[in-house]
Amino acid sequence: MTNEQMDLLSINTIRTLSMDAVQAANSGHPGTPMALAPLVYTLWNRVMRFDPKDPVWPNRDRFVLSNGHASMLLWSALHLAGVQAVNADYEKLGRPAVTLDDIRRFRQFGSKAPGHPEYHLVSGVEATTGPLGQGIATSVGMAIARRWLAGRYNQPGYEIFDYDVYAVCGDGCLMEGVGSEAASLAGHLGLENLCWVYDNNHITIEGSTSIAFTEDVAVRFLGYRWNVLRVGDANDVDRIENALQTFRQTKGRPTLIILDSHIGYGSPNRQDTAAAHGEPLGDDEIRLTKRGYGWPEDAKFLVPDGVVEHFAAGVGARGGQIHRQWDELFSAYKSKHSGLALEIQQMQRRDLPAGWDRNLPTFVIDEKGIAGRDASGQVLNVLAQNIPWFLGGSADLGPSNKTTLKYDGAGDLQADSPGGKNLHFGIRENAMGAIVNGLALSKLRPFGATFFIFSDYARPAIRLSALMELPTLFVLTHDAMGDGEDGPTHQPIEQLASLRAVPGLTLIRPGDANEVVEAYRCIMQLKHRPAVLVLSRQPLPTLDRGRNAQTAGVAFGAYILADPPEGKPEVILIASGSELSLAAQAHAALVAEGIRSRVVSMPSWDLFERQSEDYRNSVLPKDVRARVAIEQASTFGWERYVGREGHTIGMHTFGASAPLKALQQEFGFTVENIVAAAKAQLPRK
């Protein structure tokens, strides 16, 4: 069999596996895998530097399938290439990442071939994609990370990091705003190691793209300062390979390859049909299509002899050889640059360097206090110096978020300074979240920042971060009504409840500067959980914790800040963030009246719920039913801690435009109101 015949046989194997899998599942999208099989075959078997035996090798090329509904493209490639499975500790498991049986059970529970790519589930998947546009935006973070890694770790004669990032996308990815935001920033940064391949098939679920999408994509991306190439025939593997090689030779710009295709391309019977709409082709159509390929019409999930071997001789041999050469290079690198090599090894394991938390500040008791954002800024500047691969930035709010790294050598990450630690995302929260995910997927420890209210723009990426179990950090300031005069558009109300509801996301709202420090100490030790740190704009008193209450209690989610001088508490005040000092003042007033109150600082529901029942009962005894929660946000959810008959002082509207003190008075966030609420609860002792 000639090389050309083997190419076509391999491509048609991807196509028929995709058709059969979608038909067996009675669910999925067969059209795009049929059309893009030549592209994915060319990328994987002719171009990418990827070792199937070690899919977490640090210098591998990255492949992101942004139009994730075409996931059968990826499952076919991973299976045919023989990609091996690894676990969360990066140990090889001695079995394939995706078996033929997984493909037979496409979209079924327990299969390693789910409906969309899932990073934490299947080895060889570089990012979880599903919401269109998130994948290409995430790939920008990956490309930024590679340039940063090269800037720090590559040394003369030792090019440790030089991988490329490929992302496949469709019309939907380019319509979604997150893709536009990310493309704009990628062009600004001149990410020459980034290549997007746009499947220009002119079809979406509602029909032809002409009903809603008639812009000139090529002109748009030229305006973004991208290099734009076009391949007019999605079946021409040589032209596809030439375009990909042109990308690798292009300097100073990312590359967009516009690939003209048709849904179901390669089928003699289908062009723009139900295949675009997530529907199986049907048995009769599959037989006709296979007949057109010269395929056994009734064979299902057929991998012809020689196809697996062809992939082994392509991506397997090429990737294995490049990986072995890299291992030899890294071995020599360790001898000559041992400190940098150790950093790389620690980073790849998501470990922290020795002394990572040295010199963290401690704040003295101070009634005037310091804003949460200011305390955070001090901590960030210490951590960034202690952890070389800790970096991040803000969506154009660095001076207000206090996230700018100001120590000597921090620098700005720009096209001509890719090793800077201050990232400037511009006013692009949506893309910022996805880019932070891409940085974390590359094993850096990144943070992104904005006002808490604008977390709504970053929420899709925050959710995906939790789904991927990434140790990302989102620093969200202006947490309540402290931005008073800007009014309800800038006053977060429902955001706390909304983000607390995200599975696997740790949200911490510290009550003073020392709690901010402990929050960072807790967050930085997370390896497989993202965190949201919610901080105040206004100064918060630095609290007196007496002898017993330690800020280390932040790591437990809630702890006893103050207790009555004698006896068991008869009422419990629970608060987070800026309201904690109000609870402390109300406690003093209650104790002065002979009422035994307890103050519980509860910066994190998530961390508290992960503690033992004994610990939770020690903080919130079941027999003390008189409880008051205080939080400048929606009261939704607080009944789990105060009981259905308990009282929550919170928000039931969107706030108003006024100075902070006036707002606190208007909405009941006063010591007097808390004391009155506590007394009203006392009959429920």
Q: What are the structure tokens assigned to 367, written together?
A: 């009634």
Could you tell me the two tokens for 131? Answer: 């919401």
Q: Is 429 a catalytic residue?
A: yes
Name residue 103's amino acid: I
- The set of residues, in sequence order, having a beta carbon less than 8 Å from that of 617 and lying 6+ positions away, is none
Return the closest-CA partner of residue 517 out of 548, 542, 483: 542
Residue the block writes with tokens 């901010």: 516
* Single-letter amino acid, residue 400: S
Spatial separation of the C-alpha atoms in residues 182 and 375, rounded to whole Å: 30
Q: Which helix (H) or strand (E) holds 25?
A: helix 3-25
Q: How far apart are CA 209 and CA 184, in angstroms?
A: 23
Q: How far is CA 227 from CA 190, 221, 244, in A?
A: 10, 8, 12
Q: How many other CB atoms are there within 10 angstroms of residue 142's CB atom?
A: 27
Question: How far is the C-alpha of 580 from the C-alpha of 586, rounded, in Å?
Answer: 10
**Rounded to whole angstroms, how far apart are CA atoms 52 and 117?**
17
Sequence-distant (≥ 6) Cβ neighbours of residue 612 within 8 angstroms? none
Interhelix angle 338-348/134-153, rounded to 10 degrees, is 160
E strand spans, 517-589: 531-534, 539-542, 559-562, 571-575
CB 517 within 8 Å of CB 361: yes
Strands 627-634 and 571-575: what pairing?
parallel
| Cβ contact 578:650 at 8 Å | no
Helix (H), strand (E) at residue 506: strand 506-508
Q: Which residue in the list 181, 429, 518, 570 is annotated as catalytic?
A: 429
User: What are the two backbone dihedrals, phi and then psi, of residue 402, each rounded to the nearest 5 degrees?
Assistant: 65, 40
Q: How far apart are CA 681 and CA 645, in angstroms?
A: 9
Spatial CB neighbours of 221, under 8 Å, sequence gap ≥ 6: 183, 187, 228, 256
Catalytic residues: 429
